[in-house]
Structure 1
Amino acid sequence: METTDAFIGLTCVDCGETFDAETATHRCPDCDGILDPDYDYDAIDLSRSALESRRFDSMWRYEELLPFPRDAAVSMDEGATALVDCPSLAEEMGVGRVLVKDEGRNPTGTFKDRGQTAAVTAAVQHGATDVALNSAGNAGQAAAAYAARAGLDSHVFLPSRAGFTNKAMVNVHGGDMRVVEGRIGDAGAAYQDAMADNDDWYSVKTFVTPYRHEGKKTMLYELVEQEGWEVPDAVVYPTGGGVGLVGMHKAAKEFRDLGLTDELPSMYAAQAEGCAPIVEAFEEGRDVHETWETPDTICGGIEIPDPGASPLILDALRESDGGAVATSDEDILDSAVAVAQNEGVEMGATCAAAASGAWELSRRGEFDEDDTVVLLNTGAGNKDDDVLRSHLMGKGI
């Protein structure tokens, strides 16, 4: 494998064993725990000035803190997304600043590209010919796109409720799409059955591959650097599987431990009331979630009733002195419209859980009047244009 100098292997978050990344490709060989890329941080010589001298053109500008070098990456210049100042939102929330990290500007319109560039790069490094995953929609589209970029075949299992754009673009990218009746769990069951019959397929599924959360951690690197190395007070993240939240918390600790910053941002998980296992576990003081029995939200991207990495998510919330919040579908869709109409930023319906959650947190007095609050817009509004337009029509607009 072609890896970066400081990358030492994959460490299991459960049993603590470290494995060679050439031979351990997915879950822990010993206990089936989640593997996390590990580095010799003492070998990383990275300064603010060194980063500032580089073009702000791709997440791979942070290659020293990634497993693979930039010249080996299967990349379409993902990352380097805008951080949009939203003064009207800040005034309404009663905080110093509200910034939207606009991940809708990635190649396939979502932050899933950050995870899939890393995961598909790993697949190429391991000699894979086919990649596979189940997805609520966006990750499947991204996987098909990056597989096409790499010359690999992709097999994408989507629930029937996945958006038209995702389904169409999986086809356009040449992916083998299987649409499964039901929800994300049903697509997951079909994926598992297919994986059992195709042992040469390489999984790029959340927290099965060790690399998707590693790619997404670059969002935190960017927003800190974009803010002149000032760490925001709070980051509000629309949370289903929690991949980006876990990755960003790791990145914040890395920047702090490398001396590039002094503190951690408080991480907040925002969920829909119809599927809020992380919020429930956080509020009840538990270390792991209980499966949400009857998920019911229009926000399909965060309708994850059984998030397998909930201990990592809950650890991140508590270590960073953050929290968790759930709001109704009505509030989430209203928030997407309010952001579009007051700031012009197009948030996806699911993504607007971050805005809705931030408004609720501000009403609870969670933020101070001089705080800087970052909202993660994890996908473009046009991914959910039919949902948002239907919401307006339902209001007679």
Structure 2
Amino acid sequence: METNAAFAGVTCTDCAETFEAADAPGRCPSCGGVLDVEYDYDALDVSRETFEDRGERSQWRYRELLPFAREAAVTTDEGGTPLVSVPALAEEFGVEAVYVKDEGRNPTGTIDDRAQSVAATAAREADATDVALASTGDDGQSAAAYAARAGLESHTFVPTRASFTNKAMVNVHGGDMSVVEGRIGDADAAFADAVDEHDDWHPVQVFSTPFAHEGLKTTYFEVAEALDWTAPDHVINPTGRGAGLYALYKAATEVADLGLVADVPQVHAAQAEGCAPIVRAFEEERDSHEPWDAPDTICGRIEIPDPVGSPLALEALRESGGDAVAAPDPEILEGATSLAESAGLELGASSGAAVAAAYALHERDAFDADDVLVLVNAGAGSKDDDILRSHLMGKGI
């Protein structure tokens, strides 16, 4: 694999063993734990100007903090999404500023494009022919798109409740799709069985490979640069498997350690009351979650009852001084539709959890008057048009 100069291998977050990238494309070969990319920061010679002087807007402008060389990248110019000010929310919360990092502007309408760009690059560098994942929908569509870009075959396992749009676009991109009866846990099981049967399939699901969540880091790099290399005080992220939350925190610590940004923000998890294993573990002061027995939420993207990334997500919450909020579905959907009506922003249904969590944190007096808040919109509202419209119809609109 053609890795960057500062790449130092992948380390298991459970047993702490370190491997070369080519030797560990999936989970830890020793214990099956989640792998994380490590860097030799002393080998990096970067400054704010390193990134500011580059013309490209894609996430690969931050190539030194990604595992692979720019020339190797499988990319459709993902990243470069806007940080949109929402003055009405800032006034309502009594803070200096509220922004939405609008990841719905990515090529397939989701933050997962960042992850799949890096994961597909890893797969092609490993000379893979096929990639596979289980998906609630968005990352399955994204994986199919980036596999097509890389000249790879893709295999996506989705639960029956995944949106029609996502399922249709997997096929449009030429991907092989298995619709699994049940929910995401059933799709996860089918994916695991298939990978066991096909040892030449390269996993691209977050935390089933060390490389997908590395792409998610670039979301925060863009936030920091857009704020003139200052850290926001709070970042609120809709949370399912925990990958996005951990990636935001990892990115924030990286740019702080490199002296590019002075501070690390508090990162906050936003989940649905009907499936909130990370919130429950945080409130009970545990280091890992217990599986959620009966998930019940309309917010399919964040309905992950058994999130393998919970230890990393919980570490991010506690180390950053953040909090965790579980909101009822009506408040989540109201969060998404209210910003569409008042600010013209199209948030995915699940990303309304970030708005609902911001209101809850405001009620907990978590914000100061000079605070800057960033809410992450993980996917385009057009993917959830039926859910959002149904919420409005339920209100008689």
Q: TM-score, normalised by structure 2?
A: 0.99
Q: Is the 8 A contact 2:85 2:97 kept in 1?
A: yes
Residue 383 of structure 1 is matched in structure 2 by 383
Residue 57 of structure 2 is matched in structure 1 by 57
Helix, strand or coil: the match of 1:11? strand
Q: What is the correspondence of 1:59-138 to structure 2 with a 5 Å cutoff?
A: 59-138=59-138
Q: Determine the C-alpha separation between the residues in 2 that align with 1:122 and 1:144.
A: 15
Residue 273 of structure 2 is matched in structure 1 by 273
2:324 is the alignment partner of 1:324: yes
Name the % identity. 62
Residue 148 of structure 2 is matched in structure 1 by 148
Q: What is the deviation of 1:56?
A: 4.8
User: Number of paired residues?
Assistant: 397
2:15 is the alignment partner of 1:15: yes
Q: Determine the C-alpha separation between the residues in 1 that align with 2:61 and 2:86.
A: 27
Letter in 1 for 2:348: G
Q: Determine the C-alpha separation between the residues in 1 that align with 2:94 and 2:148.
A: 46
Which deviates the most, 149-158 or 18-27? 18-27
Deviations 1:279-337 (A, max 9, x none): 11111111111111110000000000111111110010000010100110000011111
Letter in 2 for 1:298: I
Residue 364 of structure 1 is matched in structure 2 by 364
Residue 257 of structure 1 is matched in structure 2 by 257
Residue 176 of structure 2 is matched in structure 1 by 176
Q: Determine the C-alpha separation between the residues in 1 that align with 2:27 and 2:193.
A: 18
2:209 is the alignment partner of 1:205: no
Deviations 1:206-242 (A, max 9, x none): 2011011110001111100000011000000000001
Helix, strand or coil: the match of 1:261? coil
Q: Determine the C-alpha separation between the residues in 2 that align with 1:391 and 1:151.
A: 40
Residue 284 of structure 1 is matched in structure 2 by 284
Q: Determine the C-alpha separation between the residues in 2 that align with 1:162 and 1:86.
A: 30
Q: Is the 8 A contact 2:269 2:279 kept in 1?
A: yes
Q: What is the deviation of 1:196?
A: 2.3
Letter in 2 for 1:262: A
Deviations 1:133-183 (A, max 9, x none): 110000100000000001111111110100111011001001111111110
Q: What is the deviation of 1:96?
A: 1.4
Letter in 1 for 2:156: V
Q: Which residues of structure 2 form unaligned runs of 5+?
A: none
Helix, strand or coil: the match of 2:23? coil
Letter in 2 for 1:66: L
Helix, strand or coil: the match of 2:314? helix
Deviations 1:77-131 (A, max 9, x none): 0001000000011112222110000000000000000000000100001111111
Which deviates the most, 18-27 or 314-323? 18-27
Q: Which residues of structure 1 form unaligned runs of 5+?
A: none
Helix, strand or coil: the match of 1:133? strand
Q: Is the 8 A contact 2:4 2:68 kept in 1?
A: yes
Q: Determine the C-alpha separation between the residues in 2 that align with 1:49 and 1:130.
A: 38
Letter in 1 for 2:89: L
Residue 45 of structure 1 is matched in structure 2 by 45
Letter in 2 for 1:154: S
Letter in 2 for 1:259: G
Letter in 2 for 1:159: P
Helix, strand or coil: the match of 1:315? helix
Which deviates the most, 308-317 or 197-206? 197-206
Residue 335 of structure 2 is matched in structure 1 by 335
2:233 is the alignment partner of 1:237: no
Letter in 2 for 1:139: D
Q: Determine the C-alpha separation between the residues in 1 that align with 2:56 and 2:167.
A: 32
Helix, strand or coil: the match of 2:318? helix
Deviations 1:26-74 (A, max 9, x none): 1112221111111110010100122111125110011111110111100
Letter in 2 for 1:347: L
